[in-house]
C-alpha cells in the first residue's frame, strides 16, 4: 500500500492507495506544535477508522508547504511502519517541464496538482486549488507548466472581514439569493462567494486569452466545490487531484 500525504497550511490530507486505486481518504488538522509521536497516533487512528492498519503501509510520499510539519509527519511514518517517505521537492522526478523563472520555487502542492491534471485531462489546462490560498496554475498545449496566480483563500478573506472590522460579523460560506444583498450577511456572502466566483471567471478568461486557445479547467481543494457552482465557465471538480498526482510522482521515482 502507498500512503500519499498532502500537508497544507490548514489541513493534512491522507490518501491510501492499493496499486492505482484510492481506497481511503482522511483529513487531519495541520498543527506545527504536534510531535512525531502525536502525528503517528493521529494517522494510525484516522486509518483505523476506515479499517486499515498503519503497519501495512509499504511506501509513502509527502508534499508539504509547511516544512516543520513535513519533518514531524515523516518521522511519524517511520515510527508507524519503518518506511522512509519520499518528500516531494528539488531532485524528485515529476515529469513536468517547468517554465517559471526559478523552477526550484514551484510549490510541492502545485507540482502534484499539475502532474495529476496532466495525467487526467486534455491540455491546455487551468488548475484551481482553493485552500488557505487560492492558486491557479497553467499548463500549455504541450503540458509545460507556465506559471499561474496566487490570491487569498476564501476563509482567509472571511476571517479578515470579521476580525479587521468593528461591525461585520463572522458568517457561513453560502451564496445569497441575490447579488444585491439586502442585509449585512447577504452583502458579505455575495461579496465573498459570488465575488470569488466572478474573480475565477475573470482570471480564467484572461488566461485563455493569453493562451490563444480554449483550455480544460479543473478545480480541487476543500472550498472549490461550493464556489465553482456559481462560475460561468465550465469547471471540472476533482477532489483527489493532488493525491493522484502524488501517486504518479511516486511511481516515476520507483
| Same domain (yes/no): 202, 140 | yes
Catalytic residue, candidates 6, 59, 109, 244: 109
Does the pLDDT at position 166 exceed 80? no
Domain assignment present for 229: yes
The SS3 assignment for 34 reads coil
The residue among 62, 87, 112 that closes a domain is 87
DSSP 162-217: HHH-SSPPP--S---SSSS-SSHHHHHHIIIIIHHHHHHHHHHHHHHHHHTS--EE
Task: Output the pTM of the full model.
Answer: 0.92
Q: What is the pLDDT of residues 183-218, one digit of tens each?
A: 988 888 898 899 999 999 999 999 999 999 999 999
End residue of a domain, out of 41, 60, 87: 87
Range of the domain at 174: 103-246
Instruction: Provide the CATH number for the domain around residue 21.
Output: 3.30.420.40
pLDDT digits (tens, 9 = 90+) for 99-145: 999 998 999 999 999 999 999 999 999 999 998 899 999 999 999 99
The whole-number pLDDT of residue 118 equals 97
* pLDDT class of 52 with cuts at 50, 70, 90: very high
Select from 10, 14, 17, 7 the least CA-distant residue to 72: 7
| Helix ranges, 50-137 (H) | 67-81, 108-120
Determine the pLDDT at residue 67: 93
For residue 88, name the pLDDT band (cuts at 50, 70, 90).
very high
Q: Which residue has the cell 453560502?
A: 174
- Grid cell for residue 208: 485563455
φ, ψ (nearest 5 deg) of residue 120: -105, -30
**44 and 153 part of one domain:** no
Average pLDDT in the 29-56 region? Answer: 95
pLDDT, residue 155, reads 82
CB 46 within 8 Å of CB 22: no
In a domain, 95, yes or no: no
109 catalytic per annotation: yes
Amino acid at each position: 500500500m502507498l500512503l500519499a500525504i498532502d500537508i497544507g497550511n490548514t489541513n493534512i490530507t491522507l490518501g491510501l492507495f492499493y496499486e492505482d486505486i484510492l481506497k481511503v481518504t482522511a483529513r487531519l488538522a495541520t498543527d506545527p506544535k504536534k510531535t512525531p509521536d502525536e502525528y503517528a497516533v493521529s494517522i494510525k487512528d484516522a486509518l483505523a477508522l476506515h479499517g486499515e492498519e498503519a503497519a501495512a503501509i509499504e511506501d509513502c510520499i509527502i508534499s508539504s508547504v509547511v516544512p516543520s510539519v513535513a519533518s514531524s509527519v515523516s518521522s511519524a511514518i517511520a515510527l508507524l511502519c519503518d518506511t522512509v517517505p519520499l518528500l516531494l521537492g528539488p531532485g524528485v522526478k515529476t515529469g513536468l517541464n517547468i517554465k517559471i523563472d526559478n523552477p526550484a520555487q514551484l510549490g510541492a502542492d502545485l507540482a502534484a496538482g499539475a502532474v495529476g491534471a496532466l495525467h487526467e485531462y486534455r491540455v491546455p489546462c487551468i488548475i484551481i486549488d482553493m485552500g488557505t490560498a487560492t492558486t491557479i496554475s497553467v499548463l500549455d498545449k504541450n503540458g509545460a507548466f507556465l506559471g499561474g496566480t496566487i490570491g487569498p483563500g476564501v476563509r482567509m478573506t472571511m476571517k479578515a472581514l470579521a476580525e479587521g472590522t468593528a461591525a461585520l460579523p463572522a458568517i457561513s460560506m453560502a451564496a445569497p439569493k441575490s447579488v444585491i444583498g439586502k442585509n449585512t450577511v447577504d452583502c458579505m456572502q455575495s461579496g465573498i462567494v459570488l465575488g470569488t466566483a466572478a474573480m475565477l471567471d475573470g482570471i480564467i478568461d484572461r488566461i485563455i486569452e493569453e493562451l490563444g486557445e480554449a483550455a480544460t479547467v479543473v478545480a480541487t481543494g476543500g472550498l472549490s466545490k461550493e464556489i465553482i457552482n456559481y462560475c460561468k465557465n465550465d469547471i471540472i471538480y476533482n477532489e483527489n487531484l493532488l493525491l493522484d498526482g502524488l501517486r504518479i510522482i511516486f511511481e516515476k521515482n520507483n
